[in-house]
Structure 1
Amino acid sequence: MKLSLSALLSQKTAKLRFGLWLAFITACVITGGSLWQSGARIQSDILAMLPKVSESPITQRAMDQVEQQLANRVYLGLISDKQQTAIDAAKVAINTLKQTDDTQAAFIDINSADMAQADALNQYYFNHRFQLLTHSQQQLLQQGQWQQLTQAALEKLYNAFSYANSELLSRDPLLLYPDSLLALAPSQQLTVKQGILIATIAPSAEHPKPRFAAIVMAKGSDSAFNPNAQQVQLTALNLAFTAVKSQFADIDIIKAGALFHAVAATDNAKQEVSSIGLLSLVGVIALVWLAFRSLMPLTIAIITVSTSLLFAVVTTALIFGELHLLTLVFGTSLIGISIDYCFHYYCERLTHPNDSCEQVIKRIFAAITLALVTSVVAYSAMGLAPFPGMQQVAVFCAAGLSGAYLTLVLAYPTLARQPLKGANQALALANRYQGFMLARFTPKAGLAKTGLVLAVGIYLLAGFIQLSADDDIRQLQHTPADIQTEGNQLRTLLSGGTDNQFLLVTAATEEQVKQQLAKLDPVLAKAEQDKLIGNYLSLNRFLPSQEKQQLNYDLQGQIYLEHLDEIIASLGLDSHLKAELIRAYQAAKGNFINAESFFNHQAGASLKPLWLSPTANGDSGYGAIVLLGGINQLDSFAVRFNDNPHVALIDKVGDISTVMGHYRQLTFVLLAVALAVAGIIFSFRFSLKLAAVVVAVPALAALLTLASLGLLQNPLTLFHALALILVFGIGVDYSLFFAESNQQTRGVMMAVFMSALSTILAFGLLAFSQTPAINAFGLTLLLGISFTFLLAPFIQNFTRKPL
């Protein structure tokens, strides 16, 4: 082994290794360029990071269809003290948004009140009027009180605002159909004026008079999470806002939709990538200069970091086809880790100034190789998380460290041959710090050791008692307060809007689904009355069961087969209408409303995503989605469906949060396994006692970090757990170098000091991120690396021989 290692790292092979390194860099650049030209991109969609929840095929289809139904929608509220001003402003906004060239349209389906939809519903349902009755109409006919329906028709005829006309009377003499058509419209607080949806805003302290909000809705032609689409859509919206403001200066505009959250997340991530990466790089450069007082280590450090980042980006893009913005944010911390190789090399060279470059690399080769292996194992464990984004971070960092390692072995013998001069001051400071720590904080007497153990135990106990967990996926994204406020205001105006949770009704046949929807309707109405939900949208009113349609048809036989003469006479209609009315009624027998005809008609096109039919791939059964809005008490609401096997509350946010909790616990198990495996590996290199000590340092650092998070009232998340995996990977590096160094440790102390400081610079900055997930990741590493740095030097108490 020694012979082969000496041959590999000999001076004779330096040029060959440098040539391999250049070939490696060239291949990375060519591959990266090719990937970017072939479509690799930066991904900003936060949903792309979420875990895949295992669901039945029909449930998964339902979730996909709901996402497609709700995705990329933008809602605007144009608010004025005058209703007509709000209406006019909405018309200007709609017209401006529609003026974009169709080939570059930012939005599609731009509207307010959908008048075309109302006309389509009328066209479709009028042909099924004999199968339709309102609940009150049905009750009257069941009681044989058709005369009351005749009287109601007479009142409508003499009403100045009646919608009755001769054409309608000749086909629906009792005017039953208009009421059935009105019953299709969902109950809401909005009114329609001149084709525009209007919401009335109640007086407040700021605005003592009622105000009016005209609602405009649009659907983005591309994903709101696509950075290019974001800019196109924002430009179109700003043009519309400018057009509105130029004509109506007193108009207030509020907005809601995934677009505004996505733009905020993209801008925040870009800002953090640039600021954190830049500050980390500047900090590391300053650290190298202050430590070595030479341009050469600084140059080598930049080359090492650049190679590391290049290999990380290309490898991640090659495997995943894209780079997530959060991967780049997390990946900026790679600067503080990959440069460790440079630190260890130059600190070891300072310690042994007479050694050649190859001899220095041989001295640190075993420790640095073991360190790479354990770090890659740590990142691999992190990659087992169900988040594609976190899997990218694992690949990104593991590849980056591998690139730095190859740079040290292949390029340093050529690039870093020049010895350092006059840079021993930092080495002396590290030596004095090390001596101070060992002398002052190593307990000698048994009582002192017992007191130290007791103090640590009390600290851990106090922290662990206060530890809690929070696995809510909403921590993934930071939403600015103004966007959240506007969104909540628009949700209120839209009677609660639509939430991510929904009900899925399933059954073996279409008719059974319709019957289940009918049974569900009163339960939902009661939940709405009890303020558990704000509103709901069910297909029940659009797709009555065949059983109900048959009942309605049979009941109308009283009108058209038994009492038509009396009805015609009471209403003063032409008696010649009788034959045609009977013929139309009899021809309508069996003309049932069904899903296929409804959804293939313009009337049902917008509701089609709420219906699930069997698919060709073997997904049997039927299903219907019931959209929910303004959910106030999800648990209390869900209880109402526990005994119904045909109804399931689908809560993707809750399901993913549950998966996060599961993987958080699994990550801690993986951490324990990684510690045990590392201990076994190290036992082949060191004694069992020293191997246990090497592993104990990052283990104790992890425990102290958890206790500190508890004392800071910082709830545990999956991201804290993933960060602890890295604390282990980095902490083991520190322990390994001290264990390998035996008596000569001042160079290791200096390298570990610089490594810890550079890592804390990177991760400490992440702790100030506005995104809670990144903040958790950074804070955990800040604490963990600090504890590891403080603990690692005490390994010398087990490696140094007594004088």
Structure 2
Amino acid sequence: MERLAAFAWAGLLLGCALLLAGLLSRGTPLDTRITALLPDTQQEALIERAEQRLTGAFEDRFVLLVRGDSPAELVAELKDHLRDSSSVDAFDDDLSQAPGSDLGQYRYRLLPETLANADDDAWVERGLNRLFIPGSQADPRRDPFGLLDAWLEQRFAGPLHIVEGLPAVNDESGRWFVVSGQLSASPYDMGMQQQLMAALSDFRDTHPDAELLRSGLVFHAASGADQAKREISTIGLGSLLGIGLLLWATFRRGSMLLSLLLPVASGVLFALPLTWWVFGTLNLLTLAFGASLIGISVDYALHLQCARQLSPRLALTRLWPGLLLGLASSLAAYLAQFATPLPGLRQMATFAALGLIGAWLTVRLWLPWFSPSPHASTAHIATQLDRLRLPSRAPIRWSLLALLGILAVVLIATRLTANDDLRQLNPSPDALIAEQQRVQGLLERSTGSRYLVVTAEHEGELLERLEALEPSLAALKADGHLAQYRHLAQAVPSPATQRANLERVRQAYSRALPELIARAGLPSDLVERAQAPLREVPLLTLDAWLEMPAGRADSSLWLGNTVKNPDVAALVTLGDADDVAQQALRQLADSAHIVYHDRVATLSNHLSRLRDQIALWLAVAVAGLTLVFSWRYRGRVWRVLLPPLGALVATLALFSALNVGLSLFHLLGLLLVLGIGLDAGIFCTEHPDSSAAWLAISLSCASSLMAFGLLSFSATPALHHLGLTCLVGLAATWALVPFARAGSRRVCSSPN
């Protein structure tokens, strides 16, 4: 039966290899999103629509700022490089096009506050200035007061202006020219990323003196992909090489090294295609995290081969219960991540769990048929290591351990803090983040992380409610509490405001226009000809504005309505807001038709709740495992629990002493420490007098330290926190195993 099972397992692995080849041949995409770690939040339908609209508006767009000598040539060559790379679908050339021709027929209903509140004399002076100032393109018949120009000056007032036919912004050290557009594919498409980055690199090589600033999700996605690739090669290969050297130094046999790494290879071959197939895509973070699988999947082979090398007469049936318990405890630690609502972590947990199962099956079904000859150095190392025993009576050491335990509990109770900062999910380099912030600051653009959702029964009422928010928002901006804001009523006044504007224009044309014509010495019949268009003036609607080239940028602010919710809705996007502004925005949202949403705060709160849930699960797991092990080991249960629980306490105490805030990813690391620590506790209790078990535990802790500990050098904050936790926790686990073995009666005096 075991031989048949071994062949069946070989067939299953062959099927996995064919599945992997098929996935690779079809070009199944790799996912580079760090946002895959974010939770799948069940939001209200209105907020969900807003999130989809904002994501669609910003996700596949980019902005580049360039400056240097001959800016027109620089911009043209930059666009040529991007076109040739096939990474850009279209450029925003309409930025340089004034929307006057589209808005001309609506000009009498579009009135800036400066004119709406001005008296007749001010209107006359404005008309005279436009007529006699050199360079002014005044039209005394169609627009004697320059209504459209006044509206456009107010509507498009901002940092962006046209220089030599190109959009540009200024800063304290010069002028930047803007190149923006839409990508030809998803910002997470690795092929497109490589084309775009290659085009920018070629441009920099061609113009080394030119300065270039970047903004857009695609640059962060490309940086994350490059970083994940580097970490797969450095962490994965570093872990593999380190473990390989450690095992070679211990066993000195190539065949032994092969038998230990075979379960690792089998586990990866089993986990990789199945995870990829189940989720439809594979995140590069999963591969970086999966590199840590090397450290734990080799444990099962270590326990088997150490026992066979040092205790050849030991029946293998004595090993299987401990190995099975070790697998179960490790799976429990990994599958706890599967219970979280974080898609990326669920994928990582699936990959790790399948990998462990694959490694365990290889050890159970294949390695009993594969028995390399022992090397003398292995027994020597085991003998030396076995001397790290506590004598049956060691009151000083136990007292010191108890004192450290009390101190650790005090530190945890008094100094342990939490950290739910979303920056732990952002792997982008500080320089790239600063670059993006600088571009957004120069263009005065919102990040879309904060917004108001305003609803109404119909379009007119919606625009009126947006106009009602204007005084409060303008005051916050004027006082420096709010960086910027944008809403549809800034471009499309409500019907009531448009009617009032038209009435004010008719009054001005009736009272101020005759005086303007007379003082300018123009023909008197111009009065009648200028007043004629005022009789029939169309109403500017949201649909009309959003169909214009100048209005397409506002399409992300319009949510419309749905069958389930007939009310129309629109967004007010907000820039950086301090505490005063945030408090004022929450007060505005007290109204039934206004919702304030802060994406960063919402996700931080979600991570906080998730952290609390994981902490509760950890406590429940510890209690449940204590009951299970108490039933099996009776009075020896403390030997099983001392390494994992002591490691948890030691890790939390060190974080408390160093003021390291506990995050969700620290807790996930503690779950892994619990699983690996339980392996050590189980085997030192199952085989308390076996030098083979102690050697395997030591090699297991060392290999896991290399695998998980190397994650502490990851530039991805989430993986760094997880790796740092494992580094501290696994070191504490190994240090506590001698205490768990203390006082056990030695059955034999030699390793054999």
Instruction: Give the TM-score normalised by the residue count of structure 2.
Output: 0.92
What is the rounded CA distance, in whole Å, between the counterparts of 2:718 and 2:27 in structure 1? Answer: 28
Shift in CA distance, 494/699, structure 1 to aligned 2, threshold 3 Å? same
Amino acid at match of 1:218: G
Please list the CA deviations of residues 75-111 of structure 1 after superposition, one character each: whole Å capped at 9, or x if unmatched: 323234x7xx33442343234434x3xxx62113324
Q: Contact 1:57/1:619 (CA < 8 Å) preserved in 2? A: no
> What corresponds to 1:389 in structure 2?
344
Q: Does 2:159 correspond to 1:194?
A: no
Q: Quick check: 1:49 aligned with 2:4?
A: no
> In the comparison of the two structures, how many residue pairs are matched?
744
Mapped to 2, the partners of 1:266 and 1:483 lie a distance apart of 14
Partner of 2:51: 63
What CA distance in whole angstroms lies between the structure 1 residues aligned with 2:210 and 2:675?
57
Deviations, residues 749-784 of structure 1 (Å, cap 9, x unaligned): 111011001001112211122222211111100111
| Whole-Å separation in 1 of the counterparts to 2:72 and 2:571 | 33
Partner of 1:461: 410
The answer to whether structure 1 residue 127 and structure 2 residue 105 are counterparts is: yes
What is the aligned partner in structure 1 of residue 138 from structure 2?
164
Corresponding residue for 1:20?
8
Aligned: 1:774 with 2:719: yes
Contact 1:504 1:623 in 2 (8 A): yes
Shift of 1:443: 3.7
Look up the match of 1:752. 697
Q: 1:217 aligns with which of 174, 180, 191?
A: 180
Secondary structure in 2 matching 1:345: helix
Q: Do 1:345 and 1:364's aligned partners in 2 also have CA atoms closer than 8 Å?
A: yes
Cα deviation for residue 339 of structure 1 reads: 0.4
Residue 337 of structure 1: aligned partner: 296
Whether 2:236 is the aligned partner of 1:277: answer yes
**1:584 matches 2:533:** yes
| 2:451–2:598 CA contact under 8 A, matched in 1 | yes
The alignment partner of 2:713 has SS state of: coil
Distance 2:383 2:504 in 1: 101
On the 8 A contact 2:648/2:670 being kept in 1, the answer is yes
Measured in 1, the distance between the counterparts of 2:144 and 2:213 equals 47
Distance 1:174 1:283 in 2: 79
Kindly indicate whether the alpha-carbon contact (under 8 Å) linking 2:96 and 2:167 is maintained by their aligned counterparts in 1: no
Specify whether residues 746 and 763 from structure 1 end up closer, same or farther in structure 2 by C-alpha distance, changes over 3 A only.
same
- Residue 235, structure 1, aligned to residue 198, structure 2: yes
Q: Which residue of 2 aligns with 1:180?
A: 151
2 CA distance for matches of 1:491 and 1:583? Answer: 45
AA matched with 2:9: W
Q: What secondary structure sits across from 2:643 in the alignment? A: helix
Measured after TM superposition, the shift of residue 338 of structure 1 is 0.4
Q: Secondary structure at the match of 2:168?
A: strand
Note the C-alpha offset of 1:313.
0.8
Q: Write the distance in 1 (CA, Å) between the matches of 2:711 and 2:461.
A: 54
Tell me which residue corresponds to 1:78: 66
Q: 1:89 aligns with which of 49, 68, 74?
A: 74
Instruction: Provide the C-alpha distance between the structure 1 equivalents of 2:686 and 2:266, rounded to a whole number of angstroms.
Output: 27
d(CA) in 2 for partners of 1:707, 1:217: 50
Find the aligned partners of 2:218 and 2:91 in 1 and give their Cα distance: 15
Partner of 2:428: 479
Deviation at 1:730, TM superposition (A): 1.0
Q: Distance in 1 between matches of 2:441 and 2:372?
A: 70
Alpha-carbon distance between aligned partners in 2 of 1:522 and 1:112, rounded to the nearest angstrom? 33
Percent sequence identity over aligned pairs = 29
| Residue 503 in structure 1 maps to residue 481 in structure 2 | no
| Structure 2 residue matching 1:280: 3-state secondary structure | helix
In 1, Cα distance between equivalents of 2:349 and 2:145: 71
Q: Give the stretch that moved more between structures: 301-310 or 287-296.
A: 287-296
Pairing 1:150–2:99 present: no
Structure 2 residue 540 is matched with structure 1 residue 627: no
Q: 1:15 to 1:96 in 2, by over 3 A?
A: closer
Q: Distance in 2 between matches of 1:506 and 1:693?
A: 63
2:162 aligned partner, one-letter code: V
What is the letter of the counterpart of residue 91 of structure 2? I
Quick one: which of 645, 668, 672 aligns to 1:699?
A: 645
How far does residue 573 in structure 1 lie from its aligned partner after superposition?
5.0
Contact kept? 1:191, 1:198, Cα under 8 Å? yes
Matched, 1:40 2:28: yes
CA–CA separation in structure 2 for the residues paired with 1:783 and 1:704: 8
**Ranges in structure 2 where 5+ consecutive residues have no aligned partner:** none
Match of 2:570, SS state, is strand
Q: CA RMSD in A?
A: 2.7
**1:229 maps to amino acid:** M
Q: Determine the C-alpha separation between the residues in 1 that align with 2:209 and 2:623.
A: 68
Counterpart Cα distance in 2 of 1:31 and 1:600 = 48
Q: CA deviation at 1:250?
A: 4.2
Query: Are 1:639 and 2:583 an aligned pair?
Result: yes
Cα drift, residue 217 of structure 1: 2.0
Give the equivalent residue in structure 2 for 1:107.
88
Contact map agreement 2:94 2:550 (CA 8 A) in 1: no
C-alpha change, 1:240 and 1:419, in structure 2 (3 Å) is closer
Measure how far apart 1:366 and its partner are.
0.8
CA contact (8 A) 1:93 1:241 kept: no
The answer to whether the 8 A contact 1:201-1:212 is kept is: yes
Match of 2:677, SS? helix
Deviation at 1:679, TM superposition (A): 2.0
Give the TM-score normalised by structure 1: 0.87
Q: Note closer, same or farther for the CA distance 1:555–1:254 as it changes in structure 2 (3 Å cut).
A: closer
Kindly tell me: are residues 449 and 425 of structure 1, through their superposed partners in 2, closer, same or farther at Cα, counting changes over 3 Å?
A: closer
Tell me which amino acid in the other structure corresponds to 1:69.
A
Do 1:112 and 1:215's aligned partners in 2 also have CA atoms closer than 8 Å?
A: no
What is the rounded CA distance, in whole Å, between the counterparts of 1:254 and 1:403 in structure 2? Answer: 47
Q: 2:472 — aligned with what?
A: 523
Distance 1:800 1:648 in 2: 69
Q: Hey, what's the Cα distance between the residues in 1 that align with 2:82 and 2:623?
A: 61
Match of residue 616, structure 2, among 655, 669, 690: 669
- Residue 680 of structure 2 is aligned with which of 726, 734, 737? 734
Between the aligned partners of 2:739 and 2:106, the Cα distance in structure 1 is 85
Q: CA deviation at 1:444?
A: 3.9
Distance 2:276 2:741 in 1: 42
Q: Give the deviation of 1:708 after TM superposition.
A: 0.9
TM-aligned CA deviation for residue 21 of structure 1: 1.9
What's the CA shift for 1:449?
Answer: 5.1
Map of 1:537 onto structure 2: 486
> For residues 477 and 147 of structure 2, what CA distance do their matches in structure 1 show?
27
One-letter identity of the residue aligned with 1:724: L
Whole-Å separation in 2 of the counterparts to 1:312 and 1:634: 47
Partners of 1:170 and 1:577 within 8 A in 2: yes
The residue number in structure 1 matching 2:374 is: 420
Does the Cα contact within 8 Å between 2:64 and 2:179 map onto a contact in 1? yes
Alignment of 1:425-464 (within 5 A): 425-433=380-388, 435=389, 438-439=390-391, 443-444=394-395, 452-462=401-411, 464=413
CA distance in 2, matches of 1:594, 1:389: 43
What per-residue deviation string (whole Å, max 9, x for no partner) do you get for residues 95-154 of structure 1? 4434x3xxx6211332477123x2xx32332222232222122223xxxx4354234212
Cα deviation code 1:773-796 (max 9, x no counterpart): 211111100111111122234333
- Structure 1, unpaired ranges of 5+: 1-12, 203-209
Contact residue 767 and residue 774 of structure 1 kept, 8 A: yes
Report if aligned partners of 1:17, 1:411 keep a CA contact under 8 Å in 2. Answer: no
1:709 and 2:655 are equivalent in the alignment: yes
The answer as to whether partners of 2:636 and 2:685 remain within 8 angstroms in 1 is yes
Matched residue, 1:490: 439
1:363 is aligned, of 282, 297, 318, to 318
**Alignment partners' CA distance in 1, 2:510 and 2:230:** 75
Aligned partners of 1:730 and 1:508: how far apart in 2? 59
Higher mean displacement: 656-665 or 395-404: 656-665
Alpha-carbon separation, structure 2, partners of 1:421 and 1:212:
72
